[in-house]
A = this chain, B = another copy of it.
Amino acid sequence: MYERFWQQMGDITTIVISGWQSMSYFSDVKNLCWFLEPEFAKQIIRLHKIVGNAVTDNYYIVVGTGSTQLFQAALYALSPPNASEPMSVVSAAPFYSSYPSVTDFLKSGLYKWAGDANNFNKDGPYIELVTSPNNPDGSIRQPVVNRSGENLVHDFAYYWPQYTPISSPADHDLMLFTVSKATGHAGMRLGWALVKDKEVAKKMTSFIELNTIGVSKDSQQRAAKILQVISDSYEPVGNPKQSGSFFHFSHSMMEERWKALRSAAKQSGLFSLPEFPSSFCNFLGQAFGSQPAFAWLKCEGGIEDCGNFLKKHKILARNGKHFGASPEYVRVSMLDRDESFNLFTKRLSSLHLSQSKDHEEESP
């Protein structure tokens, strides 16, 4: 979806890398995270200050191959090395469908997926993942377990002004961000963590050292350029170019798409969508309700398996059960290319009660 914006920007985000550049493993031997490119670090801090979505003073930055790698680095860093049993990892349902599989795929003795945080009642230390705005349902989240032994990981992949009002700079112990959701550059495989505790930041750095001996320098250099161009367009404050700038563009796109989706759902009559209260965004200087990167769509009218029903009508969506929720729900991406998104809303709006009854008769 953001591709069109970056095409319009032309050459100012283009980077050139010569064959003899950035050959070494090391980026900055004096930094705790020795494979973090200094220019990328600088642009991360600058962008957070401009957008106002996170505090960076007195935080360590750890770069990762996407926030997925940083999530695993966080589990590794927060789990004691010699505990008698693995640390429990929980998140309130509906949760990001990759959390259970990424936590458990190596059958680690350090940590283990323990399901929906709402049902968690084991004593002792645990890790709670707080994704806000949440994937898949876009809700604004707080920790739900709130017991002693708490270790929190805040996944802020979607805490950017195109998706949700920026109410205040987040200042939690361990916060994850990713380039793919911030600017749309998923192919770079880049994320960063803001970490308060030095020892935790060190252990996360060790994880990435053992897992991949650092992170692509080429992508870090390219990301630094992209973040720099975004920040440049918002400085000095009140820069007349800012109305055509990235967050203004992407905010408008998301607004349009959510209008189109709500209208299609209404026209069909078979679906409901979450409602989001309006609140003030300090960055955009206006109030609005969240317009998440995913739609958490519920099939009404007695359709039990929403994913299956949509599939029969050529709409691909991820079944709610992957997110620890009911199959009456599906998650649909709101960030697809225009053609695909338009086709999706067109097909959705044409579905009516009669089709849902056909469906019920077919499935025993």
- A187 & B107 in contact (Cβ 8 Å cutoff): no
Q: How many residues of A contact B (CB 8 A)?
A: 60
A7 at the B interface (CB under 8 A): yes
* Nearest CB of B to A79, in Å: 9
Binds B, one of A63-71, A257-265, A300-308: A63-71
| CB<8 Å pairs between A and B, sample of 10 | A3-B20, A69-B211, A76-B105, A107-B109, A107-B110, A186-B213, A188-B216, A189-B212, A189-B217, A211-B211
A24 at the B interface (CB under 8 A): yes
Stoichiometry, copies per complex: 2
Closest 3 CB pairs of A and B: A13-B19, A107-B109, A6-B20
Specify which of B5, B106, B215 is in contact with A108 (CB 8 Å cutoff): B106
Binds B, one of A122-130, A137-145, A218-226: A218-226
- B23 & A14 in contact (Cβ 8 Å cutoff): no
Chain B residues closer than 8 Å to A186, beta-carbon distance: 23-25, 213
A214 at the B interface (CB under 8 A): yes
Question: How long is the Cα–Cα vector from A95 to B6 in the complex, in angstroms?
Answer: 47
Nearest B residue to A103, CB-CB: B210
Specify which of B9, B12, B18, B72 is in contact with A13 (CB 8 Å cutoff): B18
User: Quick one: CB contact mask for A3-47 with B, threshold 8 Å, 1 for yes?
Assistant: 111110101111111111011110100000000000000000000
